[in-house]
Amino acid sequence: MYAVVDIAGKQFKVAQNDKLHVPTLKADKGASITFDKVLLLAGDKEVSIGNPTVSGASVEATVLDHMKDDKVVVFKKKKRKGYRVKRGHRQAYTQVQITKIGK
């Protein structure tokens, strides 16, 4: 069984016991979260497609950790002008584990 879920504006295909890196969520480490925006729910024999969401379907997950991605270096330069700027960015993510998919 798997589902397609909208989490913080992004769509993820999830199954039982999957670990995901999703955009930062306001939840404590170890907390349980329920995602109600289930766009598609597929079992062994049947597939439910939402319009826009599947009514009554939800996905439960546990927050494992809050972390940051690898650094992305942004370097700007204009030749012969003496303009050089070096900046870095680390995107924040929340790691979650899917515990239950149900209707």
pTM, two decimal places:
0.81
Would you state the pLDDT for residue 103? 79
Tokens at residue 56, please?
Answer: 């009554």
Sheet holding 32-35, edge to edge: 19-23, 92-102, 58-68, 32-35
Helix locations, 20-98, DSSP H: none
Q: Is residue 32 over pLDDT 90?
A: yes
Would you state the pLDDT for residue 17? 94
Per residue in 37-64, pLDDT (tens digit) is 999 999 888 999 989 999 999 999 999 9
Mean pLDDT of the chain: 94
Average pLDDT over residues 8-37: 94
**Contact yes or no for 96/62 (Cβ under 8 A):** yes
Q: Give the pLDDT band of residue 77 (cuts 50, 70, 90).
A: very high
State how many domains the chain has: 1
Residue 51's contacts (CB-CB under 8 Å, 6 or more residues apart) are: none
Would you state the pLDDT for residue 44? 86
Q: Give the pLDDT band of residue 11 (cuts 50, 70, 90).
A: very high
Range of the domain at 84: 2-102
